[in-house]
Structure 1
């Protein structure tokens, strides 16, 4: 992995974009204290260097619930029988390809993986467990924790200039 050099302005740009990536280049430049052309060049460089992976819209599950229903969200711990590199990679590739898996973390010690999954309802969650866990002979243990309330969701990476 090649080294990336960041100065205080780059860090301020990244922090501002994490808070609101929809703002105009002119607004971003003014907030950070640089000219719009400089701002545009720096943001393009940060994208090219892979520091900005993508821009997404964060939806409000509470507001959407009136239309779509609340659904289920669960944090699921997975332990595998075999933890060699090939077995871990194979399980990871399979679960990250599933749209119901919102996050996949390979962890240690304890379980091998922690997943955050979303399902429409309990039958949908049951189908998810069948296709991702029960059908996999290498899955030894599954422990699910169902969300009752989301008190905080903040995808920002802490940056200290």
Structure 2
């Protein structure tokens, strides 16, 4: 369903702003305006419109799991494929609600075909993963199959969505 406050068109300046902001949301409005060659007032108005339209969801700090693991002395990334024994809307919704409520679950994707869910999990160590697995997978009578993959190296991680060239 279209967002009624969404801009009817996204022009080259909007695309430039979106591209810049998703790479680094820290520049001041003044600096951003200079980069896209518009006035600060125009830049502010456009960025506000992109927020209001829901094209920009949030502004966050992305932490490095590797550096955090070095600093804290632990860290384990796990990708999990999970299949339920029944694919009713009620069962899928119930598992999804349980998974997204847990802070250790970084991402929860409902997928098809194949498994019902793919989860990206960040935990301290193997005992922490086993605790999560018990809570999410073994205590849930509808979970039929779980395949866990333990990350040994993160070759790429990004949050930026590909955008058309803003010429």
If the length of structure 1 is used for normalisation, what is the TM-score? 0.96
Alignment check: 8 A CA contact 1:62 1:70 kept: no
Q: How does 1:8-157 map to 2 (within 5 A)?
A: 8-157=12-161
Partner of 1:2: 2
Distance 2:133 2:65 in 1: 22
How many residue pairs are counted as aligned between the two chains?
161
Q: Secondary structure at the match of 1:34?
A: coil
Q: Structure 1 stretches of 5 or more lacking a match?
A: none
Alignment check: 8 A CA contact 2:66 2:75 kept: no
Q: Structure 2 stretches of 5 or more lacking a match?
A: none
- The structural deviation recorded for 1:107 is 0.5
- The structural deviation recorded for 1:11 is 1.2
If the length of structure 2 is used for normalisation, what is the TM-score? 0.92
Distance 2:157 2:141 in 1: 34
Alignment check: 8 A CA contact 2:77 2:122 kept: yes
RMSD: 1.1
